[in-house]
Each structure stands twice: as C-alpha cells, then as structure tokens.
Amino acid sequence: MNVSYRWLNEYIEVSDLTAREIAEQMTRGGIEIDVVESLNKGVTGVVVGYVVSKEKHPDADKLNVCQVDVGTGENLQIVCGARNVDAGQKVPVAVVGAKLPGDFKIKRAKLRGVESQGMICSAKELGLNDKLLPKDQQEGILVLPAETPIGQSIGITLGIDDEVLELDLTPNRSDCLSMLGVAYEIAALTGREVKLPNTSVMHSADQASDHISVSIEATELCSHYSARYIRGVKVAPSPQWLQNRLIAAGVRPINNVVDVTNYVMLEYGQPLHAFDAAKVAGGRIVVRQAKPGETLTTLDDQERKLEPQMLVIADAEKAIALAGVMGGANSEVTADTTDILLESARFDGSTVRKTSRQLGLRSESSARFEKEVDPGRVIAALNRAASLLEQCAEGHVTEGIVEAITKNIEPSVVQVALNKINQYLGTSLSKLEVEAIFLRLGFEGSLDENGVFTITVPTRRGEITRDVDLIEEVARLYGYDNIPTTSIEGSTTPGALTKPQAIRRDLRKRLTDSGLNEVISYSFTGPERTKLFPALTNGAVPVRLAMPMSEDRSVLRTSLLPQLLEMAVYNRNRKNENIAVFELGSVFHTEEEVLTHLPQEKHRFALLLTGNAVQAQWNRKAEAYNFYHAKGVVETIVNTLGISGSVRFEAAQPEGFHPGRTAAVLLHTEAGWTTIGYVGQLHPALQQQSDLPDTYVAELDLAPLYEYADFAIEYKTLPRYPAMERDIAVVVDTAVQAGRLLETASETAGELLESVRIFDVYAGEKLGAGKKSVALALVYRHAERTLTDEEVTELHSAVVTKIEQTFGAELRK
C-alpha cells in the first residue's frame, strides 16, 4: 500500500508532522514503512503554459516554434520537437532557470538559429512514472486539462509536491490496505480524530430496483452484495486531482468511472466494480459458482476457462465478472456507456484467493478480498463512489440500494482482564492507561468491578478475536520499549547437549583440529547422482520434490558422497587442488514411491580427501593422499568414540569404489558384526568422469556410533614390570591380509600380549612374485611380575607356528 502524505491529510490532520515522522511512528507501532519517497524527482521552475500559436521552424522540419503564455504578461518563444504540440494546449513549461530531474538546468538556447526561452516537457521529463500514465500521455509532451490555470506551478497541478509512504504490511494488518485504515492507525498512535469522506448523494426520483435486481445463489461464498444504478454518466478522463492521487498510489488512471471505483477502493479498502448496465442482461445480478465448461473473457482480453468452484457474477444469461478478481469484457464500461451498475460486495476470501492463484490473475481487488474486507464498509464505499460519480462523471444516482445479504456479520466482543494484561506483558498498567489505549484505538468497551474489559472490536479490525489480540494492541500502543526487561522466575533448569549432539561436537573438533575443513552441502540433488553409490543408500527410493526448481536439485540426497564429489569438482575448477573435507548431515531414505510417511532421516558422516596431504616444503617432500589417510580418519573417529576394539575393516567391492582399495567398516553390535559404512578410493572411472585425481572417501552411519560410543575413560595403573619385545618377519602370499595376521597374533598370544604393530611390509624380486614380507613387533608384558625369557619364547613360538600354519607363512631369517 502506497500512501500519499497530502491525500492522507483528507482523513486525518497530520500537517504538523512530516512524512518521515509519520513513517517512524508507524514503524515503531508495527506497520513497517519501507521507504518514504518524494514524488517530485527534482522539478523546480516548471509552470503551466498556454500554447498561443505554433509555427514550423524555418530550418528544421521536425521542430515547431511556439509562442507560450506562462502568465508573466509576455509570451515566451519556445522551440519544441514534440509531434503532438499544438496551439490551444495547456502544457508544462520549464522556463529559463528551471530544473528537471537529473539536475538538468534549462538555459536560454538557440535551436537551428531560432531562440528558445524554455522547454515544453513530456511526462517522462518531469520524472513521472510513465507506466502509470494513460497511453496517449506516454509519448510527446504532456497535455494538461484545458481548465488548468496558466502560470500554476506544475508541482501543484500534478500533485507531485508530495511524499509517498510505502507500507510493508504483515498479513494481519489488511485493515491498512486503505487510506481510512491508515488514518485510524495514525489516530491510535497519535491520539487524533479520523475525518470520514462525504458519502451523500442527490438521488434522482427514479428507483434503482425498477432497473436492477440482485440475488446470491452461492450463499456461503458471498455474505453481502449491494448495487446502485447510476444513469447518464459521461465517460471521460478523470479530473486531474483524482488522476494525481491514483498515480501517487501506483494505480493507472483509465476513465472517470473506473477511476472512481479504484479511488474508493484505496479510500475504504473495499473493491468496487462498475458494469455497463446496458450489457447486464435483464438488469439481473446473480452471484453463483461457475458452470462446468463456462468461459469468460476478462478485461485483459484473456479468455478464461472457469472451474466450478470459482465464484462469478452473472446476469440473466451469462457470467459477466469473476467475483472479486476481474471484470468481464462483455460488461465493460466504455466511452459509450451511459448507465452503470455499481457493485460493492463481500466475497469469501479463500475463494477469491484460490481463483486468482489458479488463473494467475492478481489484482488490487483480489489482494483485498483475499484478506476479507470490512463488512462495515460495503455500503459506505458504495455510497462514496456514487457520490463521486455524481461529482466527476455527471451521473444521476437513482433512489435506493439493491442488495442481498446472506449473513450478518456482527462486531466481535472480546474480554480481557487488566490482571491478565499486566501478567502477560510483565507491566503494571493502570485501568486508566489501558482505557486510554482502547479509546485511542476507537474500540468501545466497558470495565467491570472485577477488572475485566469487555471490548466491542470494530469490524475493520476483524482479526482481533481473542484476549491476546487485545493484549497485543495494548502492548504496541503502550510501546514495546516501555515493557520492562525481567528474568524468568521459578527454578532454574540444567542445560546440556544430548549424547549425539556432544558426539557431533567432538568429531567436528577432533577432525578440524587435525586439518580437515567442515562443509555443508545442499540436501537437494539430481536423481542420477543418487545412483552413484548404491551400497550407501540401502535401496532407498529418492524422495522427489513436487515442484523442483531444477532437475539437478529435484530429489533429496540419499547419501552424502555425491554432494562432496560435486563440491570437490567445484573446488578443483577453481584451482583448489588439495581438499580434505568432511560433512555431518542427514540423508533421506524411504521405500515408498509416493510418501505416506516421513522418510527416515539418517545422520551420516562423510569424508573426501584428494590432492596432497603434505605440501612440498623446503625440508620435506609432497605427500599425496592415499587410502590409509582416509582409513586413518575413520580409525581416529572410532578411537575418539572409544570403540576401536569393536570395529574392523574388511576388503569390499561396493559400486562406485575402487574394487581393490575399499574396505567395509564393521561395528560389533548386539546383532553381530554390522556394516556401518565404507572407506576407500573412488572408482577410477568415476574419478575420470568427474575429472578428479585419486580421491579417497568414506561415509558412515552415525546412529550406531551414537549408540555404542563409550566416553567412560577406564584408568589402568601404569605397568610396574618390564615388557619384552620380539619381532618377526614372515613371507606370505600377497593376498594374505595383514589385518588377519594381527588378529591371529592377538588371539594366539592372549592376555600377555600388550601390543602388536606392523612395522614393515615389503615386496620385491628377492621374495619372488606373489609374495610379500610382513614384519611385526610384539610386546609381551605381565601386570604382576617380570616375564621369564623362557615363557616369552614359548608364547612367541606358538604365535609364529600359528601364523605359519594358518597363512602358509615362512619365517624370514
């Protein structure tokens, strides 16, 4: 809603306040004013002139030499290039010394040898928004009405010495979609009176009901339909003042009849419609739902296919308007119109909303009906428009209002106790203070001996239905700034993170402290991308958005890795070649093709490493990421969570991963060993496709980690007896997994084995093809005593024998 400051003064006396002061007060009161804009874009010294004569320029075909009277006694000679300039016109004249928008100064000039003492201006040159001007005024010079006084400042003529407040209204304040509503709001904020417009008409003797009738068939969708019959209108451009106000409000003037309906809509917030009465068959208005297959060509010349739930205004034969949305071309007011049927009605908001959405037709009218118009203004607006049509279109208003009412809407009565107000807000307002606020709002009411206010809420504020709504009114008029700041009373509560929240915090800290960056990727992805790593999606059907913005953001991610891949490519394209990142986020799994239940949201951890782990520096060589970096990150996680003993890695060949460089991560749970994710190299084909070098990734389900994570630290007393270390190197087939050697060593040696570590793996010609040597360091220790050489030797031999037997290993001497 755009509110002209000058126009506003018609409804409330605010000339002692500047537009900016009003804006500030309204904003602090809850109606945000985005901008206060001056309509004058920098015009000074432009006055109304009368073109006395026009002659062709002697040396230029396209120029005219005009003599213009600007009321100074002497005519000015002005050279003008506009095609539409003519003798007898009233026009805006920028005299020498005038200024136009863009700091353009008018000087005495010679055009092709002829002196010009100023400039005749177009609307655009005066800084007017030409989109809001009638078509014939968009080109050439602006021609003003004949009655405009010569010499008048153009600022007054065009009403541009004015400022406009642009209201950013919240959905509950549709009452301020009208000048009157804004006036009531300012009245409440400043304690002033609202002045209502003149709605009186000079009825002619003729009875409206002799000409027109109204009936509502769709009783649920229209609570009130009223009409007046106005004869003998002369359709013409509106008076300048009316046009100026419409333009200030951002509405394009069309003709006096349409302009009056728009003007009253802006005044009252009640949209009106004028039908050419001659085109309303039988003079009958029927408010009904559209018939199957019915069509209507609307005022914008579009043929609309109507659907049965849409509400239409029909005459005896056909639909003639889409109720509250747009009129029909078949009943349009044109230059030939003489009699009009003026409509003021109250249509169901959600029906108007649905219709306008469905047809993609949003108008000033539908915007107001959608939010339910004030039932108290239907008749007032009708009368106001009739009054203006008398004034501006020479209409004769026939006697009486023809109307149908299906539901009487009474003002709501709401109770609120003074105690409750103060308890709710934390204030200590007195009875008198609260009473004064209701008075300023124009809410009538009474206070009983128990301190309960009974308030009759005017219908213009229909959204106020409960005690808290009244409390809000009191609070905002008392001023939110005046409400004290207090602390919550009552017992304190302990704050804490849950275990999963704490785990994510710990992991985030551990991993970033180790050099990884955390990323957050989009939850939406392309359907193709969800197919990259089937092992990570458990056969989930990707959840598809009903109306995606693009195909590559049309489904919910079923795993994190495709998103990290996208991120890696993005970074590589920007020459960020060394990437070490992880993400903690949800993936969405369902088996349903069409969701009837919410999908499962699984928390996941994902990792991506590519490029160099260590950059070449003067004292060390570059080191590229490899599988063991990625595995090391996973091991660090399970160590941090205290479950390294319950996790093992097994070679695996899931799709999308390098078949020889990938491990399943298994966690020992109540159900036995369970795969919780994978760590490995990206499949080389996928690497190539994404133009990535060797890239190592991992993705893990977090839920089992949340469940099994063990933060309890069990202290073990420091050893008092010495350890004995024995090394062995065994030659085995390349296929033998080192992890199995470690497990065998541990199992065979039992409790006395404190630790076992692989300190070398070697393959070479000396060993022969298909063989490798693995060197293990075993540390034996007894907690209670010093081990003897004999018992260690015996135990160690057992380990060696077991490894030899199990893996066909040969001891390397």
DSSP class of residue 339 equals -
* Residue 520 or 811 having the CB closest to another protein: 520
Map the footprint of another protein across residues 695-734, applying CB under 8 A: none
32 lies in the site for another protein, by CB under 8 A: yes
The sheet carrying 163-168 orders its strands as 2-4, 163-168, 32-38
Q: Which of residues 431-470 bind another protein (CB under 8 A)?
A: 466, 468-469
Contact letters (x/-) for another protein, 375-414, by CB under 8 A? ----------------------------------------
Could you say whether residue 515 binds another protein (CB under 8 A)?
Answer: yes
* 111: exposed, middle or buried (Cβ count in 10 Å: 0-12, 13-18, 19+): middle
> Site for another protein (CB under 8 A): which residue of 83, 108, 291, 505?
505
CA separation for the pair 19, 680 (Å, rounded): 67
**Residue 30 binds to another protein (criterion: CB under 8 A):** yes
Comparing CB distances to another protein, the nearer of 413 and 497 is 497
- H-assigned helices in 642-702: 684-689
Stretch that binds another protein, among 2-10, 124-132, 285-293, 500-508 (CB under 8 A): 500-508
Of the two residues 515 and 764, which places its CB atom closer to another protein in the complex?
515
What's the Rg (C-alpha) of the chain? 42
Spell out, one character per residue from 141 to 170, where the chain touches another protein: x when CB under 8 A holds, - when not: -----------------------------x
Q: Which of residues 743-782 bind another protein (CB under 8 A)?
A: none
Interior angle at CA 244, CA 27 and CA 391, nearest 5: 115
Q: How far is the CB of 491 from another protein (least distance, A)?
A: 8
**25 touches another protein (CB under 8 A):** no
* Run of H or E including 156: helix 154-157
Q: Which of 73, 102, 292, 494 binds another protein (CB under 8 A)?
A: 494
Q: State how far the Cα of 45 lies from the Cα of 101, in Å rounded to an integer.
A: 12
Q: Is 513 in the site for another protein (CB under 8 A)?
A: yes
Calpha distance 299→314 (Å, rounded)? 15
Q: Which of 397, 414, 437, 556 binds another protein (CB under 8 A)?
A: 556
Q: At what angle do helices 431-441 and 418-425 cross, to 10 degrees?
A: 90
496 binding another protein? (CB under 8 A) = yes
Shortest Cβ 694–another protein spacing (Å) = 18
175 is in an annotated binding site: no
CB 343 within 8 A of CB 260: no
Q: Are 631 and 607 in contact (CB under 8 A)?
A: no
Annotated binding residue at 469? yes
Applying CB under 8 A, which part among 8-16, 322-330, 519-527, 669-677 lies near another protein?
519-527
| Residue ranges with strand state E in 175-240 | 213-216, 222-231
Residue 294's contacts (CB-CB under 8 Å, 6 or more residues apart) are 306, 312, 319
Nearer to another protein, 383 or 610 (CB): 610
* Closer CB to another protein, 514 or 734, in the complex: 514
Residue 404 backbone zone (phi > 0: left; psi -120 to 50: alpha; other: beta): beta
The least distance separating another protein from the CB of residue 236, rounded to whole angstroms, comes to 37
- Which range in 144-152, 320-328, 386-394, 540-548 contacts another protein by CB under 8 A? 540-548
CA distance 256 to 236: 6
Going residue by residue from 277 to 306, which x/- string records binding to another protein, judged by CB under 8 A? ------------------------------
Q: How many residues contact another protein, by CB under 8 A?
A: 94
Choose the stretch contacting another protein; rule: CB under 8 A; options: 284-292, 393-401, 522-530, 711-719.
522-530
Q: Rounded to whole angstroms, how far apart are CA atoms 312 and 330?
A: 13
Q: Does 28 bind another protein (CB under 8 A)?
A: yes
Q: Phi, psi at residue 528, to the nearest 5°? A: -65, -35
CA 364 – CA 193 distance, rounded (Å): 28
Cβ–Cβ < 8 Å for 343, 285 = yes
- Residue nearer to another protein on the CB measure, 497 or 761: 497
- Considering only 5-13, 305-313, 331-339, 482-490, which stretch makes contact with another protein by CB under 8 A? 482-490
Q: Which residue has the tokens 């076992």?
A: 756
- Residues 342-371 contacting another protein, CB under 8 A: 349-350, 353-354, 357, 370-371
SS3 for 347? strand
Residue from 523, 675, 687, 737 binding another protein (CB under 8 A): 523
- Residue 593 tokens, joined: 């093709």
The answer to the question of residue 571 lying near another protein (CB under 8 A) is yes
State how far the Cα of 368 lies from the Cα of 270, in Å rounded to an integer.
7
- Round to whole Å and give the CA distance between 519 and 734: 38
* Nearest distance in Å: CB 16, another protein: 24
Sign of CA dihedral 259, 342, 338, 231: negative
- Verify binding: residue 576, another protein, rule CB under 8 A: yes
Residue number with CB closer to another protein (171 or 768) = 171
CA 554 to chain centre: 19
Minimal distance, residue 422 CB to another protein, in Å: 9
Are the C-beta atoms of 445 and 437 separated by less than 8 Å? no
Secondary structure, 3-state, 388-420 = HHHHHHCCEECECCEEEECCCCCCCEEEEEHHH
Tell me how far, at minimum, the Cβ of 698 lies from another protein, in Å: 16
Nearer to another protein, 408 or 492 (CB): 492
- Using CA atoms in the order 458, 461, 467, 473, what is the torsion angle rounded to 10 degrees? -110
Q: Which residue type occupies 74?
A: E
Amino acid symbol at 294: E
- For the bound state, the minimum distance from the C-beta of residue 579 to another protein, rounded and expressed in Å, comes to 6
Q: What is the nearest approach in angstroms of another protein to the Cβ of residue 584? A: 8
The distance of closest approach from Cβ of residue 513 to another protein in the complex, given in angstroms and rounded to an integer, is 7
Q: 43 or 564, CB closer to another protein?
A: 564
Give the largest Cα separation in the chain, rounded. 132
Minimum CB separation of residue 360 from another protein in Å reads 11
Q: Which amino acid is at 412?
A: S
Interacting residue with another protein among 497, 616, 738, 811 (CB under 8 A): 497
Instruction: Please answer whether residues 154 and 98 qualify as being in contact, where contact means their C-beta atoms are separated by less than 8 angstroms.
Output: no
C-alpha to C-alpha distance for 447 and 653, rounded to whole angstroms: 80
Is 473 annotated as a binding-site member?
yes
Shortest Å distance, C-beta 759 to another protein: 23
Q: Tell me which residue has tokens 């919410």.
A: 598
Q: What is the 3-state secondary structure (H, E, C) of 720-735?
A: CCCCEEEEEEEEEECC
Residue 252 or 476 with smaller CB distance to another protein: 476
Q: Is 44 in the site for another protein (CB under 8 A)?
A: no
CB of 259 to another protein, least distance (A): 28
Please identify, using beta-carbon distances, which residue of 560 and 728 lies nearer to another protein.
Answer: 560
CB nearer to another protein: pick between 265 and 519: 519
Q: CB count, 10 Å around CB of 620?
A: 9
Which 582-641 positions form the footprint of another protein (CB under 8 A)?
586, 588, 594-596, 598-599, 601, 617-620
Structure token digits, residue 727? 């090394």
**Residues 745, 741: Cα–Cα separation, whole Å:** 6
Q: Name the residue nearer to another protein (CB basis): 275 or 478.
A: 478
Asked whether position 178 contacts another protein by CB under 8 A, the answer is no
Q: Which amino acid is at 418?
A: L
Q: Which is nearer to another protein, 522 or 759 (CB)?
A: 522
Which residues participate in the annotated binding site for Mg(2+)? 469, 472-473
Which residues participate in the annotated binding site? 469, 472-473
